[in-house]
Amino acid sequence: MALVSYMSRVQFDFGALRLLPEELALLGVKRPLLVTDTGVRAAGLVGRALAALDARPPIFEETPSNPTEAAAEAALALYRAHGCDGVMALGGGSAIDLAKAAALLATHPGSLGDYGVRGGGSARIGEIAAVLAIPTTAGTGAEVGRAATLTLKTGRKIACVSFKLIPKTAICDPELTLSLPPLMTAATGMDALSHGIESYLSTWENPPAAAIALDCVERAGRWIERAVTRGDDREARWQMLMAALEGGLTFQKSLGAVHAASHPLGALGYHHGTLNAILLPPVMRFNAPAVPEKIARLKVALGLPPAEDLPDWIEGLARRIGLPTKLGELGLDAALIPELAEEATHEHLSATNPRPANAGDYRAILEAAYR
Ligand SMILES: [Zn+2]
C-alpha cells in the first residue's frame, strides 16, 4: 500500500535564518534549547543564530560526530534544568538526530533503547517536544526525516523511526553552507545523491516521493561538483541544500542496501556520506538486473547518455570531488567484512532494497567496495 504523507513546514532561501524568532513563536516555543556542536560554533554559525534571537538560549554544544545516548541524556538534563519547551537543532545530521532524541526523551519514560525500530519500540513513540531544525550541511535531509540514529551506552547502534520524529519546522538557509569545506561538501552531497537514488529504487510504492527523488538526483548530480570546487557559488549551494531537503522528503519511500551496509560501517566511526559514495556503485551493480527501467530513468535525470554505465559514472564523480572510492582507503580491516555483511541483513532498510540481499550478497558487495 502506498503511504503518502508530508507534514513539514520549511522556510527555504538565503536569509531564512532571520525568521527564527517568528517560527519559534508559531510553534509556541518560548524557552528553546539550542543543540549544536563545536565545529558549527567555530564556523561562526552559532553566533549568527544567536544574533537572530531576542534572548540567549541554553546551548548544548557537545554533540559527538556520531550522536550517542549519553549525549542525548546530557542534552535532556540541560533542557530540564532550564525548563525548556522545545529544541532547536543547528548543525548536520548528528545535531539534528541528537535534538530529536532529546525531544523524545523529554516526553517519554524509560531510555532510548526502548524506542528502537528493530525491537518494535518505534510504535511506542508519541508526541515529542517541538523540534526546529536548521541544517548547516547539505546532505542528510534529517531536517525533514523521520529517523534518529544513535549509539547506545552498550555500543549498539539504534534507529528510532517515526513520523513523530519529523521536526515541526525546518529553516533551510543556504547562507549557512557557504563556508562548508570541500571534502564535507563532497561527502554530505553524495549522501543526498544516495538518498535520491536509493529511495527511487526502493520497493515501496509512492509516486510523489519517487518524483521528488528524481528531482533530488538531477539537482545533486548537476551541482555537486560546482559546490565542491566553488564553495562560494550561491546558486550551487542553494541547489545542493534543496537536493538534500528533497532527499529527506523521499525517506518515506524508504532506502535500500547502500544504507543497510553503511550503518554498521558508520558504527566504526567512518563518515556516513563517504561510505555511501563508496557503496553506491557496487550496490547499483547488484541491483541493476532487478530494475533496468528505473536505472535508465536515473540516467535521464542525470543527463547521461543511455550507453553510460551509471555505477562507473558515480565512482568517477566521487573521485573527481576528492572522495575515497574504496573501503580499503579508509583503513578498514578486511577481516571484519563477514560480520559487517551479517549486520547489514538485520538493518530494517535492507528489506526495501529492490533486489533481496542475503549475507553472502552483502559480503560480495563489501568485497567489491573494498579494493
Ligand atoms: Zn544517508
CA of 86 to the centre of ligand 1 (A): 26
> From ligand 1's centre to the CA of 183, what distance in Å?
16
The per-residue pLDDT for 155 is 86
Residue 62 DSSP one-character state? B
Distance 191 CA to ligand 1 centre (A): 5
Cα 287 to ligand 1 centroid, rounded to whole Å: 18
* CA distances to 55, 60, 218, 228 from 268, in Å: 39, 24, 31, 26
C-alpha separations of 196 from 37, 127, 148, 215, 218 in Å: 27, 28, 19, 8, 9
Span from the CA of 82 to the centroid of ligand 1 (angstroms): 33
SS3 (DSSP) at 117 = coil
Give the distance (Å) from ligand 1 centre to CA of residue 68. Answer: 17
- What is the distance between the alpha carbons of residues 347 and 21, in angstroms, rounded to a whole number? 39
Report the separation in Å between the CA atom of 18 and the middle of ligand 1, taken as the mean of its atom positions.
28
Compute, in angstroms, the gap from residue 54 CA to the centroid of ligand 1.
34
pLDDT at 98 (0 to 100):
98
Residue pair 132/24 in contact (Cβ under 8 Å)? The answer is yes
What pLDDT, on the 0 to 100 scale, is given for residue 56? 95
Treating both helix axes as pointing N-terminal to C-terminal, what angle do 257-266 and 359-370 enclose, rounded to 10 degrees? 70
Q: Cα of 350 to ligand 1 centre, how many Å?
A: 14
Count how many Cα atoms sit within 13 Å of the Cα of residue 346 in the half-sphere of its side chain.
13
CA 263 – ligand 1 centroid, Å:
9
Say how many Å lie between the CA of residue 275 and the centre of ligand 1.
9
11 DSSP 8-state letter: E
Per-residue pLDDT of the chain (371 residues; tens, 9 = 90+): 778 888 789 999 999 999 999 999 999 999 999 999 999 999 999 999 999 998 999 999 999 988 999 999 999 999 999 999 999 999 999 999 999 999 999 999 999 999 998 889 999 999 999 999 999 999 999 999 999 999 999 988 889 999 999 999 999 999 999 999 999 999 999 999 999 999 999 999 999 999 999 999 999 999 999 999 999 999 999 999 999 999 999 988 999 999 999 999 988 889 999 999 999 999 999 999 999 999 999 999 999 999 999 999 999 999 999 999 999 999 999 999 999 999 999 998 999 999 999 999 999 999 999 99
Distance between Cα 344 and ligand 1 center (Å): 15
* 272 Cα to the center of ligand 1, angstroms: 6
**Which class for 175: exposed (0-12), middle (13-18), buried (19 or more C-beta within 10 A)?**
middle
pLDDT value of position 119: 83
Interval between CA 31 and ligand 1 midpoint (Å) = 31
Q: Which position has the grid cell 547488484?
A: 286
Distance (Å) from CA 140 to ligand 1 centroid? 6
Measured N-to-C along each axis, helices 234-249 and 182-201 cross at an angle, to the nearest 10 degrees, of 40
Closest C-alpha to 272, from 249, 284, 250, 255:
255
Tell how far the Cα of 227 is from the centroid of ligand 1, in angstroms: 19
pLDDT at 179: 92
Q: Give the Cα separation of 208 and 28 in Å (integer).
A: 31
Find the 110 Cα to ligand 1 centroid distance in Å: 28
pLDDT of residue 157: 84
Measured in Å, residue 188 CA sits from the centre of ligand 1 at 8
Which one, of 162, 73, 166, lies nearest residue 121 by Cα?
162
* Dist CA 358 CA 366 (whole Å): 12
Give kind and range of the element (H or E) at residue 272: helix 272-287
Is there a contact between 164 and 119 (Cβ–Cβ < 8 Å)? no
| Distance from Cα 273 to the centre of ligand 1, integer Å | 6
Q: What is the CA radius of gyration of the chain?
A: 19
Give residue 193's pLDDT: 98
CA of 141 to the centre of ligand 1 (A): 8
Phi and psi torsions of 20, nearest 5°: -50, -50
Between the CA of 246 and the centroid of ligand 1 the distance, in Å, is 12
Distance 190 CA to ligand 1 centre (A): 9
Beta bridge partners of 86: 32, 130
Distance between Cα 62 and ligand 1 center (Å): 22
In whole angstroms, what separates CA 359 from the centre of its chain?
25
Q: How far is Cα 251 from Cα 194, in angstroms, rounded to an integer?
A: 11
Distance 236 CA to ligand 1 centre (A): 20
Whose cell is 530529536? That residue is: 100
Q: How far apart are the CA of 203 and the centre of ligand 1, in A?
A: 17
User: How far apart are the CA of 250 and the centre of ligand 1, in A?
Assistant: 11
